[in-house]
Amino acid sequence: LVSRELQAHDTVVDVGGVSVGGDRLAVIAGPCAVESVDQLHETASAVKAAGATMLRAGAYKPRTSPYGFSGHGLEGLRILREVGDDLGLPVVTEVMDTADVAVVAEAADCLQIGARNMQNFALLRAVGAAGRPVLLKRGLSATIQEWLLAAEYLMAAGNAQVILCERGIRTFEPATRNTLDLNAVPYVKGKTHLPIIVDPSHGTGIRDLVPPMSLAATAAGADGLIVEVHRDPAVAVSDGAQSLYPAQFEKLMSALAPVAAAV
């Protein structure tokens, strides 16, 4: 179902009125996690003013350590919905557990499957049946073929609204958090009709690498970007080191325009 051989034209996914795929670069931005109403509202207002058309923030956070902040759960979903509605931004957020699919699908315009759950087949089936667009992150060590087969699970469960997201893979290189595989963008576009976006935040783990890799991803033909931005990255509860300052994001959006127009 994901194959280009079966469908020649590009799929355009509609997320709460915003298209992912097609001519326009979709820029999703926001903090790693919902921390508070103020934190999310201030950050979301800044990314919206800079031109982002969708808001991201996690209410359920997959953390490497069991002692890390794991998100505000239901209260986080409520805050995310409220801020998204207030600013007129569709919202995307991660669902980690099949038991939470219904509540997350009710609150969010798009369900994110995180890298760590790319091959959680029970979750793929449940999210595939949830009737919401899905943002499917590439697994930490997943091949492109495994990633496309994970997308196939979603489509086989009845969901045609799938967005692929390259977010960096594990390699031997420890200098950056992950190695952003930009090869995947044009390669995947040849294999599938599904839109592909890039996450340079998790892909690099380093704030100052996010703008250049965002530009590179756009030049490579990505349909969109998902970028972590925080009103005050120094106090972020998760992923502060890779989160852009609002002013940096605004500068990035200006730099992206001519590149997006040229591809």
Q: Which residues sit at the interface with Mn ion, rule CB under 5 A?
A: 32, 239
Shortest gap between Cβ of 226 and ligand PEP (angstroms)? Answer: 7
Q: Which of 3/63 has CB closer to ligand PEP?
A: 63
Q: Which stretch of DSSP H or E encloses residue 30?
A: strand 26-30
Q: Which of 32/115 has CB closer to Mn ion?
A: 32
- List the single partner that 128 binds among ligand PEP, Mn ion, none, CB under 5 to 8 Å by kind: none
Residue 17 neighbours by CB under 8 Å, 6+ apart: 90
Instruction: List, in sequence order, every residue forming a beta bridge with 197; answer none if it has no partner.
Output: 165, 224
Shortest gap between Cβ of 228 and Mn ion (angstroms)? Answer: 6
Cβ atoms of 82 and 37 closer than 8 Å: yes
Shortest gap between Cβ of 196 and ligand PEP (angstroms)? Answer: 14
Cβ atoms of 115 and 136 closer than 8 Å: no
Binding site for ligand PEP (CB under 6 A): 32, 58, 62, 114-116, 137, 167, 199, 202
Instruction: List, in sequence order, every residue forming a beta bridge with 92; answer none if it has no partner.
Output: 56, 110
Residue nearest to ligand PEP (CB): 114
Burial call 62-90: b when 16+ CB within 10 Å, e when fewer: eeeeeeeebbbeeebbebbbebbeebebb
Amino acid identity for residue 195 in this structure? P
Shortest gap between Cβ of 157 and Mn ion (angstroms)? Answer: 26
- List the single partner that 115 binds among ligand PEP, Mn ion, none, CB under 5 to 8 Å by kind: ligand PEP
- List the single partner that 62 binds among Mn ion, ligand PEP, none, CB under 5 to 8 Å by kind: ligand PEP
Q: Which of 32/111 has CB closer to Mn ion?
A: 32
